[in-house]
């Protein structure tokens, strides 16, 4: 018996992606059709086309939040990870506890804390720096990002065989030189896939900012729904559209991550 996978083995990835797109399109079209049936209002497609620019601008806001959160999280996470690896015991302990705390706290709670407890503006030397909700949300997302980057860094450094440390030491490298010239360069490849996975998770979680009133895509989706008369049959297509946007953005990143994972695994 000829197996499907045998015939298409080299293009399995493409087949999968097509299948996934097909299913999401099916859900989308199906729910749109259901919403359109027996309705005297504008068709779902018309409504979506009308509001697409607004919804997409909301989506861009999600992406902006995700990129900023990841950038801040990475910039803060690398020193925190180095702290965990410090040869100074108390410093390493502190780094460990900070990492564990922010890794294990629910993201939504951290988000609430940042949005509700941070001031709406900072005063630095008579200068007023506004601190709007969406910036607070960025802080809220970058905290767990930071902790996860810290842990990714630690894991990558520990995954480098001890022989590397030993031979560097024998050649007279000090700890700092060993870390920066020998260990960390080897870690970048190992860190990239989990780092990209983390970015994907952060991107997915940016919609929770709607819960605290940041006007990102999900908030706008609700507003569009209200503007169109709050017809319940519009909800499925509207949310499908939101899912589709995220899917189109995150799916290639996910596939690329998988590819890198495989590539670097073989080399080890």
Partner 1 sequence: MTQPDRGFVSLRDVHKTFGAHKVINGISLDVAKGETICIIGPSGSGKSTLIRCINALVPVDRGSIHLDGIEVNTPKLDKLALRRRVGIVFQQYNLFPHKTALENIMMAPITVLKQDRAEVEARARALLKKVRLAGKEGAYPGELSGGQQQRVAIARSLAMRPDVMLFDEVTAALDPETKKDVLTTIQDLARDGMTCLVVTHEMGFAREVSNRVYFTEGGLIVEHAPPAEFFSNPQDPRTREFLSQVL
Partner 2 sequence: MQVIYDWFLAFYERTGINLSFIYDNFDRARIIKGFWLTIELSVITIALSIVVGVIGAWLKGARSGWVRHSVDAFISIFRNTPPLVQIYFFYFGLGFMLPRVMDPISGTMAPMVTNFQWAVLSLSLFAGAFNIEIFRSGMEAVPRAMVEAADSLGYTRSQIYWHVVLPLAFRNCLPALGNNLVNLVKTTNLAYAIAVPEMMYAAKQIWSDSSNVREMMIFLLFAYVFLVAILVYGLNWLERALRIPGYGQMGGR
155 sits near partner 2 (criterion: CB under 8 A)? no
Verify binding: residue 106, partner 2, rule CB under 8 A.
yes
Binding-site member from 186, 197, 215, 223 for partner 1 (CB under 8 A): 186
Cα distance between residue 155 and residue 238, in whole Å: 40
Choose which of 20, 49, 188, 227 interacts with partner 2 (CB under 8 A).
Answer: 20
Smallest distance from the beta carbon of 181 to partner 1, in angstroms? 6
One of 3, 123, 128, 176 touching partner 2 (CB under 8 A): 3
Q: Is 159 in the site for partner 1 (CB under 8 A)?
A: no
Q: How many CA atoms lie within 13 A of 259 on its CB side?
A: 9
Tokens 């949300």 locate to: 137
| One of 44, 183, 191, 218 touching partner 2 (CB under 8 A) | 218
Nearest to 200 by CA among 67, 72, 59: 67
Per CB under 8 A, the list member of 87, 162, 170, 174 interacting with partner 2 is 162
- Asked if residues 174 and 249 have their Cβ atoms less than 8 Å apart, the reply is no
Q: Which does 112 bind (CB under 5 to 8 A by kind): partner 2, partner 1, none?
A: partner 2
Query: Which residues bind to partner 1, rule: CB under 8 A?
Result: 161, 163-164, 166-174, 177, 181-182, 185-186, 267
Query: Which residues bind to partner 2, rule: CB under 8 A?
Result: 1, 3-5, 8, 15-17, 19-20, 22-24, 31, 34, 101, 104-109, 112-113, 116-117, 162, 200, 203-208, 210-211, 218, 232-233, 235-240, 242-243, 246-247, 250-251, 254
């Amino acid at each position: 018996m000829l197996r499907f996978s045998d015939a298409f083995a080299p293009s399995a990835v493409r087949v999968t992606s097509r299948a996934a797109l097909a299913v999401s399109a099916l859900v989308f079209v199906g729910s749109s059709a259901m919403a359109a049936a027996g309705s005297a209002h504008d068709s779902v497609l018309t409504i979506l086309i009308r509001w697409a620019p607004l919804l997409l601008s909301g989506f861009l806001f999600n992406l902006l939040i995700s990129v900023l959160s990841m950038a801040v999280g990475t910039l803060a996470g690398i020193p925190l990870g180095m702290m965990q690896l410090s040869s100074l015991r108390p410093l390493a302990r502190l780094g460990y506890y900070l990492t564990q705390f922010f890794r294990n706290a629910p993201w939504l709670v951290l988000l609430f804390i940042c949005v509700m407890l941070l001031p709406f503006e900072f005063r630095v030397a008579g200068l007023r720096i506004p601190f709007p909700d969406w910036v607070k949300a960025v802080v809220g997302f970058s905290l767990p990002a930071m902790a996860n980057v810290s842990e990714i860094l630690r894991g990558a450094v520990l995954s480098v065989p001890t022989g590397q440390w030993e031979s560097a030491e024998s050649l007279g490298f000090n700890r700092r030189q060993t870390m920066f010239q020998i260990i960390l360069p080897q870690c970048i490849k190992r860190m990239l896939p989990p780092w990209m996975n983390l970015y994907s998770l952060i991107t997915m979680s940016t919609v929770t900012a709607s819960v605290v009133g940041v006007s990102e895509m999900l908030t706008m989706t609700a507003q569009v729904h209200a503007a169109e008369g709050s017809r319940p049959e519009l909800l499925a297509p509207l949310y499908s559209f939101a899912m589709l946007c995220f899917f189109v953005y995150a799916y290639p990143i996910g596939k690329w991550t998988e590819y890198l994972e495989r590539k670097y695994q073989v080399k080890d």
